[in-house]
Amino acid sequence: MRIPRPRRIFAHVLTAQVTITTGVMVLATGLFLAPLGSELDEQAMRRALSIAQTTAADPDLARELVATRPDPRGPVQADAERIRTATGALYVVVMDRRGVRWSHTRTAEIGRHVSTDPSRPLAGREVRGIDTGTLGRSARAKVPLRDGRGRIVGAVSVGIAYDSVRGRLLGTIPGVLRYAGAALAVGVLAALAVSRSLRRRTHGVAFADISALLDEREAMLHGIREGVVACDRYGRIRLVNDEAGRLLGLDASAAGRAPDEVLPPGRTTDVLTGRVAGPDLLAVSGGRVLVANRVPTRDGGAVVTLRDRTELELLGRELDSTQGLLDAMRAQDHEHANQLHTLRGLLELGRYEKAVAFVAEVASAHRASAEQIAERVPDPLLSALLVGKAAIAAERGVALRVSAATQLPDAVVDPRDLVTVLGNLLDNALDAVAGHRRAERSGGPFVEVELRAEGTTAVLRVSDTGPGVPPAMREQIFAEGWSTKEAPPAAAHRGRGIGLALVRRLAERYGGMARVTARAGGGAVFTVVLPEALAREDGGPGPSGARARPPESHEDRASGAMTVGGPA
């Protein structure tokens, strides 16, 4: 699981120093030669442009171009050769508007079309650059040729031999390389001195001692109760301690492989690979809530630490639920106080029959709601959750409805998983509805719950009258750390964007699925299918491999639904 290292520290340091020195010298030499070559090219192009402009400024040249024909013995050729000889240019070519040469160093080329595109100078623009023509590579410039009235009658092309420019550049290289070689020799000697000094400062520690130190480090890493994953500069896993193996489900075979190869896609994999960066990142792996931190190392790799925050996250959610229940009980306390004042008034007025009827009505209303929930959902944990959430919904001005199709037998294999799924869905629905007030044909904002069984499969559906989820975001909301709202101060003890990620992971662990669709009339419908979450009728666990088909699209079942919570 360790990256192989050179056998001798002395050789390793010497190699590194020589490599660095060589690299610096190569870089310095390149930085010196690159601008020098560019400057020499620029000078050659400016010189060619100056000669071309001076040639085109001769009024006799334009008159001769118009009045004569292309001829090796003509006046245009004579003037061009005179200028070429005087300036030392490689060539001076005069062309007419058709691009036909009237002058050239090689007289056989006169009367032929030029080898490069003449459209730009014939259109009135000056051109310069490094190009290849009939006389080879050259620094050239082209300017338009105008007559006495300013009309373009042709163009002048002048070239400076590029080989002479390149020769000047190459002539400087031997001297530069001599100085670079001397500097490299000094660098190598300095590297030898540093390496010997390092060898003395390590007090001659043998490789056996270094191996022992590494073994002690391994023992320490595997003994701590925090997951540690080390990756090399190529993104491959180098080290996985015991706690990280437990949290991520990895073993020794993960060493030398990329995180994408040994872990499923998700936020945990993104943190390990560095695609997601930041301190104390929340991630979900195998139903566990993890806090991950990624620290880069000097060799280009990284060390990722993982802390199991599952219990803390669950406690935080329980605290949130408890706070919600306290708020609901506080609201009910005010309601009960008003009812007691009403009862006292009836007694003082002597309206005893009215007082008895009032007490019976209030008591039966609360008892009926709880009894109806218990009849449809016999499991005590699930029914208690619905009763508690109904109180919270009433405090927030939202009606909590239990669908008429709700019927879940008392045969839940692990009620805690269903409580986690249903609790998270209800919390999200209440947050969405409470923050999105709008008129409803059915009489105000509400959240509807449906729990039903399909053989050994439990189907949970929660719909709301909130703003809904846009189609483009229906997969993102199940990603770890993703949330549409800011965390309120009361929830500062925990991160956001974990609830729905836990719901999907639980569904996938059961072999089911979790999805969100649009509700008819506005809002969202969250559906979770949990195969084998219910026991068989004979009391045993669900058959292995049993899977339920995804439920049909949801329609609002307002008629026949039981409302167990409403605005306080």
- Non-local CB neighbours of 472 within 8 Å, separated by 6+ positions: none
pLDDT computed for residue 450 by the predictor: 93
Q: Where are the domains of the chain?
A: 13-167, 208-308, 312-565
Q: Which secondary-structure segment (H or E) carries 114?
A: none
Q: Domain 208-308 - what CATH class?
A: alpha beta
Percent above pLDDT 90 for the chain: 7
Same fold, 13-167 and 312-565: no
**Quick one: the chain helix, strand, coil %, rounded to 5?**
50, 20, 35
H or E element that contains 7: none
User: What's this model's pTM, rounded to 2 decimal places?
Assistant: 0.45
Residues 6+ apart with CB under 8 A from 379: 408, 410, 412, 415, 418
Q: To which residue do tokens 């550049």 refer?
A: 169
Per-residue pLDDT reduced to its tens digit, 475-495: 888 876 666 554 444 343 344
Q: Are 420 and 510 in contact (CB under 8 A)?
A: no
Per-residue confidence (pLDDT) for residue 202, from 0 to 100: 60
CA angle 371, 500, 414 (to 5 degrees): 50
Looking at residue 547, its pLDDT comes to 39
Can you tell me which residue has the tokens 């002395």?
10
Tokens of 376: 């449809």
Backbone φ and ψ of 307, nearest 5° = -120, 135
Please give the Cα distance from 62 to 72 (Å, whole number). 17
Buried b / exposed e along 160-189 (16+ C-beta atoms within 10 A): bbbeebeeeeeeeeeeeeeebeeebeebee
What pLDDT is recorded for position 490?
A: 39
* Spatial CA neighbour of 436 closest among 500, 522, 525: 522
Q: Give CA–CA dist 529/423, Å, rounded.
A: 15
For residue 104, the Cα-to-chain-centroid distance in whole angstroms is: 61
Residue 75: burial class (beta carbons within 10 Å; 0-12, 13-18, 19+): middle
DSSP-based three-state secondary structure for 135: coil
CATH of 13-167 among 3.40.980.10, 3.40.50.150, 3.40.30.10, 3.30.450.20:
3.30.450.20
Return d(Cα 328, Cα 36) in angstroms, integer: 80
Neighbour-count burial of 399, counting CB atoms closer than 10 A to its CB (0-12 exposed, 13-18 middle, 19+ buried):
buried
For the record, the structure tokens of 127 come out as 């051109």
pLDDT, residue 551, reads: 42
H-helix or E-strand spanning residue 554: none
Radius of gyration for the chain, computed over Cα atoms and rounded to the nearest angstrom:
42
pLDDT score, position 462: 94
State residue 6's pLDDT score.
42
CA angle 194, 200, 202 (to 5 degrees): 105
Regions in the chain scoring below 50 on pLDDT: 1-7, 368, 439, 441, 486-495, 543-559, 568
Say if residues 168 and 40 touch (Cβ distance below 8 Å): yes
Given a contact cutoff of 8 angstroms between Cβ atoms, the answer to whether 45 and 127 are in contact is no
312-565 folds as Heat Shock Protein 90 (3.30.565)
Q: Output the DSSP codes for 137-188.
A: EEEEEEEEEE-TTS-EEEEEEEEEEHHHHHHHHHHHHHHHHHHHHHHHHHHH
